[in-house]
Structure 1
Amino acid sequence: MWRYLFGSQISVEDATVEADKRVSIIIDPAGAAAASFTLNFDSSVLRGAIVELIDDGPEPSTLTVNYSEVADGELGILVDAAERAGKIRVTFDVVADSDRKETEIGFSNSIATCSASDSFGQAIPVRFNGGSVLIK
């Protein structure tokens, strides 16, 4: 019930990685049965995105990914389930010769609209908060 009054938060967990390595970020749908969003990242620093479910929750989840704009740093992501959608892991290759020490990962509505719903398909209030990858 608190989720309907105060909203939930879907966030990118911050990560630290060495250049020329792989980094994984976790996105938790915060108890929603379905969530959709566009994940934005700097494609000159992060490449080779692999998106997968890592926790199905009480019911199997379905993950749909639109890779059509991945070269421009955008992934459209939709996860849904009958009850609670599972967590999502996005793994990137970090470019070896990047001079960046930190890069942001955020959300937008450009491919998939940022939204979440309950098991009855009713929209629930949710905040989408980006994170960062620190490159050592």
Structure 2
Amino acid sequence: MGYPTEVLKQLSSMGRLVVCAGDGAVQGSTNLAYLRYGISIWIEVPLDLVANEILKTDARSTNEQPTLESNSFSEVHAQVLEELSKRYNEMKGGYGTADAIVSLQRVASQLGYEDLNSVTPEDMTVEVLKEIEKLTKVKKMMEAAARPF
């Protein structure tokens, strides 16, 4: 049993937790089964924005500040985006099992933002909480419907 699987196994027995599970956690039927103990939400962010964030973080850690217009940035960005796309394609089946999807693009559109970077973590959190509320209501209705009269 791999590390992500062991952690998910332990967490699935606890209640009322928020767990950010990405990357390898959505691979494999065992991990996905553990995730089913709760509500899973896929926070969908365009891969080019993720690539930009990776490059910004790398630049801060090395004190190099490539500009968006530089050739080196474009080349590195393309490489990072290619790797992210490859990993996404490997894992999209697992992501697709989520109970709900909160899309950064949809949230930006609902809020009237043209720039996706205008969406704040708080904006995304509100949308996630709305989805959790909907899913909790549905779960309660299904449990009530399953009870004998």
> Under a length normalisation based on structure 1, what TM-score does the superposition of the two structures give?
0.27
| Structure possessing the higher relative contact order (Cα contacts under 8 Å, 6 or more residues apart) | 1
Q: Which has the higher helix share?
A: 2
